[in-house]
Amino acid sequence: MADTETQREAVLDAIENVADRIEAEKEYLTDLDSAIGDADHGANMSRGFRAVAEKTADADDGEVADLVKTVGVTLISEVGGASGPLYGGSIMSASAELSEGITAETSVAFAEAYLDKVQERGKAEIGAKTMVDALTPAVHTYKKSIEQDDLPPLTALAKAVDAAERGVRFTVPIKARKGRASYLDWRSVGHQDPGATSTLFIVEELLATAEEYLEGDVDVDAASPDVPEEEPTPEDD
Ligand code: ADP
Ligand code: MG
């Protein structure tokens, strides 16, 4: 990608876009959390990203990895709840993958490291009705689009948004098995997970920011399909 200064500018724009989006969706996230949690997800996330935006506003030198690390550290100290350490701690750890700057390759490494940390900390499998349900398909789609399908990062990110959206919808009919919502057991069925939803908003804002900086196709239908037309036949051993 571009020089360090442009990368830093892109990260700062991403932070601002995410902070604005979370602020705009604060009540919605709180409503989702009031149905199956304790009605604080919107407040937690908006407090966290407001602090991040303030803390990083005048970062005009330094490496992007350090800037991203600051995002994580600030979220840990400001967000609290289950989502603070999950978002903040995982961003903090994954920031090391950006030590050589942001490229298609390091962005995949960052995304994978972030997902790994979220799972290591939260111990939620896919289908437990958590942020992992939006994050896993998004990260896998992004990685596959870049490494196997050789798509431009912008197209890969657009496909990741699509995958995260499907992940969010998938949380609705399932029963929570992790986090506060799991206390409700079957009564959590029929409600959308707040953390999966905030994850989608963040990935959407990363795409919106990337559109300002990268060339590529954001029409995901124009990209190669994920699912083959024909049923695969099992290979003989
Ligand atoms: P709290 O549950 O402490 O009030 P928040 O309301 O800020 O924290 O965040 C709730 C979200 O955190 C849930 O919607 C879910 O997506 C996510 N979450 C909770 N526990 C876990 C976990 N063990 N692994 C992954 N995500 C989790
Ligand atoms: Mg909550």
Has residue 237 been placed in a domain? no
Q: Whose Cα sits closest to atom 24 in ligand 1?
A: 122
| 209 pLDDT tier (thresholds 50, 70, 90) | very high
Tokens coding 184: 């409700």
Range with lowest mean pLDDT among 26-40, 113-127, 134-148, 218-232: 218-232
Ligand nearest to the CA of 183: 1
Q: Residue 187: inside a domain, yes or no? A: yes
Distance 178 CA to ligand 2 centre (A): 12
Q: Is residue 230 in a domain? A: no
**Looking at the 3D structure of the chain, how many domains does it have?**
1
Mean pLDDT of 41-46: 97
Ligand 1 atom index nearest CA of 130: 16
2 vs 135, residue with greater confidence? 135
d(CA 163, CA 168): 9
Q: Residue range 110-135: average pLDDT? A: 98
Give the per-residue pLDDT at 223: 56
pLDDT surpassing 90 at residue 226:
no
Q: Provide the pLDDT for residue 222.
A: 54
Q: Among residues of the chain, what percentage have pLDDT more than 90?
A: 85
Task: Flag whether 94 is in a domain.
Answer: yes
Q: What is the CATH number of the domain that holds 8?
A: 1.25.40.340
Q: Which residues constitute the domain of residue 139?
A: 4-210
E strand or H helix that includes residue 206: helix 194-213
Q: Is position 199 within any domain?
A: yes
Q: What is the DSSP letter of 231?
A: P
Rounded mean pLDDT of 198-222?
A: 88
Mean pLDDT calculated for residue range 204-220: 88
Model confidence band, residue 228 (pLDDT cutoffs 50, 70, 90):
low
List Cα–Cα distances, 231 to 180, 221, 224, 227, 228, in angstroms.
Answer: 40, 21, 17, 9, 7
- Is 131 a domain residue? yes
Q: What angle do CA 218, 204, 43 make, to 5 degrees?
A: 170
Q: Which of 54-63, 92-101, 168-177, 214-223 has the lowest mean pLDDT?
A: 214-223
Residues with CB under 6 A from ligand 1: 33, 37-38, 40-41, 44, 81-83, 86, 122-124, 130-132, 178-180, 193-196
Phi, psi torsion values for 218, nearest 5 degrees:
-105, 5
Pull the structure tokens for residue 73. Answer: 């550290």
Residue 198 lies in a domain: yes
| CA distances for 146 relative to 48, 52, 155, angstroms | 31, 29, 9
* C-alpha separations of 216 from 5, 17, 103, 153, 210 in Å: 21, 20, 14, 7, 10
Does some domain include residue 231? no
Residue among 117, 130, 136, 202 whose CB has most ligand 1 atoms within 8 A, to mutate: 130
